[in-house]
Structure formats: C-alpha cells, structure tokens
Structure 1
Amino acid sequence: MRLFRVRFFVLAMIALVMGCSAPEEEIPEENFQKLELLIKRMVQQGGALAEDLDTVAHYYEYLLTRKDSIREHSRPSPYRFVGGISTNLPGQDSSLSSVILLNSTPDRKKAEEQVVLTNFLDSVFAAFMRRNPMAVQIYSNSSMQVSRVYPTYDVRNIVDINLDVTAFNFYYEADFDHNPSKGLVWIPEAYVDPAGKGWILSLVHPIYDGDELFAVLGVDYTVSDIIQHYLDSVEGEFILVNSKGDIVAGKAEAIESLSMPPLKNHVYRETVHSDYFRISDFNLFSSKSREVREMAQHFLLEKKDRFEFQEEANLHWAICVPFVGVDWFLVEVFPNH
C-alpha cells in the first residue's frame, strides 16, 4: 500500500509539472519555405553570375596563350598615365576601365607590358556588366600589381597608389594555397572596397599563366544592393551571416534586435559604407545578449534550425536555413507581439 502511494505521488507530480509547462510552439512550415525561396533566388542569381565570370576567365587565359603575338601586333594603347594612374575619368569614355600601375609593383616594365596585354579585356568587361545589372564592377588584379577596374572610377581621389593588392582577400583567397582547385571562389566575408563602393561581397577566379598565378579576376556585389534587392523584397526581419557569425547583410531592425552595436541613423546600408564599421563589431558571438550568443551556437555550430528566446523581452523565436555551396546562413527573427 505504501509503495502504491509513493508511485501515485510521483505520477501526480509528473502530471502537475507537465501540466504547468507550456507546450513547445510549432513553427509554421511556410516560414522555412520563405527563407528557402529567398536563398534560391540568391543562389540562382549568383550561379548565373559565376557562369558568366567563368566565361570571362577562359577568354582571359586564352589571351595569355597568345601574349607574344599580341605584343607584336598590338595597337596603340588608349591609355595615358600620370603617376601610374590612367588619366581617363568617369563619364568620359564608357569603353575604358580605370587602370593603375601600383607603386608596389616588383617590375615596372613587366607591369607596363601587362597593361597592353589586358587592354583586350575592356570590351569583355563592358559586355559582362551589361549582362549582369546586379554587379557593380568587374576587375583584374595582377601579381605585377596592375589593377584594371570597369567601369571607370575616380582612382586618384580614392585609391592609395602604394597599396598591395595581393594583401587583400579578393586576391589571396584565389591563390593556390587558398584555392588549389583553381576555380571560382565566393568570398564569404563582406569587406570595404578600396575602389570606394562601400561594403561588398566578391566572386573571384584565379588566372594562371602556365603554373604561375598571373592575376585574379573578380566581380562585386554591394551589401546595400543585396539588402534592397533580396531582403527588402520580403516581409520579415532577416540577417545573412557567415559560418563565423559575421553579419554579411541584414535589415536594421533585425540587427538591432539582436543586441548588436547601434547603427548610424538606424540604416544598415549607411553603416556598411562607413570605414568605422568593423565585421568583429557585428558578429553574433559578440552580441551583448547571452541568448543571442546561444542562438548563434545553436544555428552555426550545432546546425539546428530554430531557437526560442526565453529572456529577451523583444524577441520570441528565430529560424535558420543554410545555403548550399557557401558558408552562409539566412536567419529570420520574430519579435514578441
């Protein structure tokens, strides 16, 4: 009899606890489908861009196989230089790029020869930009420190002529150590463009002359365009993060709700154009909120797809869907109502 009473008491306590616990809320499947559709749109656009850039890369490498013939039969160069910077300015001639022979070049004569060789890229660059309106610029940066960027921009007032392009991620992420397959590479971290386009994301392709890395071909998206074209097109509070927790892009309200630093004028696209913005400041693992840091671990390390907030007064839950082929995650946060 005593044993029966003990068992009855235990069962009663279990029933009481279960009765007092709120059932786990079911997240509608259409919320995940919305994120998957957004990702699909971005991946399709990125895939088309990658395929087109790959075509440009093949043409570039074909030019290198004919470099001796090009040197012998080259036409007069349309470029004139002052202090290593081409003198053409934006709005003057839409068929030309901005070309820079940086002071960091190890061989000035070879750099000048590369300018002549790569003049043939101008028409290819212009056609690429016409086909890809989401791209903001296409460029080549060579191991000889020759930079060719289309369309033309105000180089003299923007670029430090002493910089070393090989020290930037849009160059070294494509080198053999980082990219032994020698194929296309998405750079998952946003960075400040030295050509003045603000915070951007890049797709790059190494260009080899035999076994030597001759140059890196690249194309850029701006972070603000990604926000406007994709994230602003759908109702909801979204952030795009990489596997390290860095916020690549996102709506201002979503970012601020995750206890990140305050944004200039509450507009993320203005913040990402500012030099004071630092990726480390906008990393989910650096959030002031313990729960947001837990959410980051939940999504990025444990690969789970939903997180319920218990302590954050303004947040209810968040969901996450990963990309395929690049270490990005799309997160939607849901405020308390």
Structure 2
Amino acid sequence: MKYAYFTLVGLVLLFSNGCRDEATAVYTTEFAELDSIIGMMESDLKPLEGQIQELASQTEYLFDHQDRYAAMASRDEYKISDAGVIYRESADKSESSVHVSSISQNREEVFHQIYFTEALDSAFRTVYADTPLVAQVYFNTRLQLCRIYPSLDALQVFDTDADLTSFNFYYMADEVRNPEKKSKWVEDIYVDPAGRGWILSLIHPVYHQGQLEGVMGFDITINDIIQRFLKKSDKKLLIIDGSGNIVAGTNDAIEMLNLPPLRNHTYIQTINSDNFRKEDYNLFKSKSKEVRKMVAKFLLEKDNVYKMEDDFSSQKYTVYCRQMNLLNWYILEVKR
C-alpha cells in the first residue's frame, strides 16, 4: 500500500511538472516574440537620446556665442502679425518655422534669441533626414519662442497667446522634474498642435549660466509606432502605459477587449493644456470587469499572463504582457 501511494505521488508530480514545463515552453515562445518587438522599438528609440543630447549641447554653444551667430541671421524674414505674434515669413521649406506667442514680454531679447538660434536649421535638417522615426524637431524657450522643423504655417497652427512653458513637453524638462538635466521621454502622449496626431516626445533641457533657457524636442507619432512595429506582425497587440492608458494598438486587439475604436487625430487642435487619452481608453476604467482585473494583475501585481473570458460573448482569451525597459510602457498580446 505504501509503495502504491509513493507511486501515485510520483505520477502526480511527474504529470504536474510535465504540464508546467509545457506551459512554460508556450509562454516562453510568446514572451520571446513580445521581447523581439520591444527590442526593435528600443533599438530605434534609444539612439535618439544621444542625438538630442548632442543637439542640446550645440544649442548651449549658441547661447555662449550669441552675438556671433545673431549677426549671421536673415533678419528680414521675421515679422510681427496684427495679433502680436512674431513669425518667420519664408517660402524656403528647408528652413525652420518660428512662432513667438503674443504673451512674450521682452521683444528685444526674443528677437536676439530668434537671430542666433537660426543657426539650428542645419542641425534640424540633419536629424530629420537621418532619423525617419522623428516626425519633427523643435526648440521651445522661456521667452515663448518656438523654432520647429519641418516648416509649417505657424500662424494657423499655433494659438496666438499660447504659453509654451505650461505644456508637458516643456515643464517635464525643468529642474524639479528633471534634476539630472538629461534627456527625458514624455510618456504621457498628447495631441500635437501641429496636426500630426498623438505624439510621444523626447525632450532635453538647455541651460545657460545656470538658467533653463529652453527645451529641445523630438516628436514621434503614435501612428508611426503602430505602422513600424505593431502592424509588421499579424498578432493582436496593444501598448499601454504605467497608468493603464492605451498608447497604441491594432484594431483587432482593441475590439477583443471591448474598447472604443481608436481615432488618429489629424485635425489641427489648439492645445490649452496637456491632452491625454480619454477615460474610455484607460483599462482600469473599462466597462469590462475582466479587463479591469487583467490590467490590475499586470500593473499592480506584476503578473505577465492572464486568462480571461469575454463579459459579452463568453469567448476565452489569453493575454500576455511584457514591460519595456526604456519607457514605462507594456506590450500586450491578446490570443484566443
């Protein structure tokens, strides 16, 4: 009887270990595929940190040699609109656009800043040409100067009295939120005032004589992330941030989780403050109890596999989750 008992226990252990090994093998395959996508994303995104640091250093050099570079500027190109906005009037698409908000106080100082930062144009063109993932390059300053490339109709795109320093792509680089004074990813995506849709930004502060003078920025559209990384796979994929907001996703993954369809905001929208995803796109606020449980398991309990049953269709899914290293984002795969 004793031998029969140990034999039975041995068979149970053997069976359970076999099941665990089989499950691990399945999960390992799924995780390897998600890790591959993360690897591709980060191999494209990580080098941008070095590029923006170099560009910020070049800008600090311009601040150290302001008069020399201001003397080289095409001063006749800069005008003042009836609403008090300083802008650049040029038909040359190889040049950056300029917008200075009507709330800018010291016009003499800001014109001087416009003149010596004109030297950034060649560096902007190089970054844009050499880095397909970067949709636009810009430099925003405490004096309300925005210099941006590629060129656009600044008077039509930007609000007349916008305060650049009130937006996350500026204040996230300040000394309080970025005491290391290094490059920083703005992980809370927002709607681009230049009409390029939802945006992920990489920013870097520019200091002169101990003062934050401005913030250099690279913009990457979420649409490009979807096309470049998610749609190359036939998998049902979703990217969420550390708060449970959807960053990007394939339509089928979104539909399987009973979420509203994502729209790519390409219309020009004036930004009065930070613009984030609607509450409908936060998984913690999903109408589905199963989706809320799933995201809690992933983000709060740090699980990486969740088996769920659709609240409405009774279909069963398995969702796999991997966290990125560069950003506090998570990539999910939904499988039937």
Class of the TM-score when normalised by the shorter of the 2 chains: 0.7 to 0.9
SS in structure 2 at match of 1:216: strand
SS in structure 1 at match of 2:253: helix
TM-score with structure 2 length normalisation?
A: 0.85
The AA in structure 1 aligned to 2:325 is: V
Question: Once superposed, what is the RMSD of the aligned Cα atoms?
Answer: 2.4
Q: Distance in 2 between matches of 1:208 and 1:243?
A: 30
Q: Distance in 2 between matches of 1:85 and 1:256?
A: 46
1:112 equivalent to 2:100? Answer no
1:185 equivalent to 2:180? Answer no
1:157 equivalent to 2:156? Answer yes
> Deviations for 1:29-77, whole angstroms, at most 9, x for unmatched residues?
2211111010011101001222211111111111111124434x43443
Q: How does 1:20-59 map to 2 (within 5 A)?
A: 26=23, 27-59=26-58
Contact 1:315 1:333 in 2 (8 A): no
| Distance change in 2, residues 1:147/1:315 (3 Å) | farther
Q: 1:79 maps to which residue?
A: 77
Q: Displacement of 1:144 after TM fit? A: 0.3
Q: Displacement of 1:87 after TM fit? A: 4.5
Q: Displacement of 1:115 after TM fit? A: 0.3
Identical aligned pairs, as a percentage?
34
> Deviations for 1:7-45, whole angstroms, at most 9, x for unmatched residues?
xxxxxxxx9xxxxxxx78823422111110100111010
Aligned pair count reads: 309
Q: Distance in 1 between matches of 2:62 and 2:175?
A: 21
The range that moved more, 212-221 or 107-116, is 107-116
1:331 equivalent to 2:332? Answer yes
Q: 2:122 maps to which residue?
A: 123
What 5-or-longer segments of structure 1 have no aligned partner?
1-14, 16-22
Q: Displacement of 1:184 after TM fit? A: 0.4
Q: Displacement of 1:303 after TM fit? A: 1.1
> Deviations for 1:305-325, whole angstroms, at most 9, x for unmatched residues?
111114542341101110113
Q: Displacement of 1:85 after TM fit? A: 4.3
Contact 1:97 1:151 in 2 (8 A): yes
Q: Distance in 1 between matches of 2:277 and 2:232?
A: 26
| Distance change in 2, residues 1:305/1:272 (3 Å) | farther
1:249 equivalent to 2:248? Answer yes
SS in structure 1 at match of 2:75: coil
The AA in structure 1 aligned to 2:328 is: D
Q: 1:291 maps to which residue?
A: 290
The AA in structure 1 aligned to 2:77 is: Y
Q: Distance in 1 between matches of 2:321 and 2:62?
A: 44
The AA in structure 2 aligned to 1:299 is: F
Contact 1:200 1:223 in 2 (8 A): yes
Q: Distance in 2 between matches of 1:299 and 1:47?
A: 25
Q: 2:230 maps to which residue?
A: 231
The AA in structure 2 aligned to 1:104 is: I
Q: Distance in 1 between matches of 2:94 and 2:310?
A: 58
Q: Displacement of 1:272 after TM fit? A: 4.2
Q: Distance in 2 between matches of 1:291 and 1:76?
A: 61
Q: Displacement of 1:326 after TM fit? A: 1.7
Q: Displacement of 1:160 after TM fit? A: 0.8
Q: Distance in 2 between matches of 1:142 and 1:254?
A: 40
Contact 1:101 1:112 in 2 (8 A): no
Q: Displacement of 1:256 after TM fit? A: 2.3
Q: Displacement of 1:78 after TM fit? A: 5.8
1:206 equivalent to 2:199? Answer no
Q: 1:20 maps to which residue?
A: none
Contact 1:322 1:330 in 2 (8 A): yes
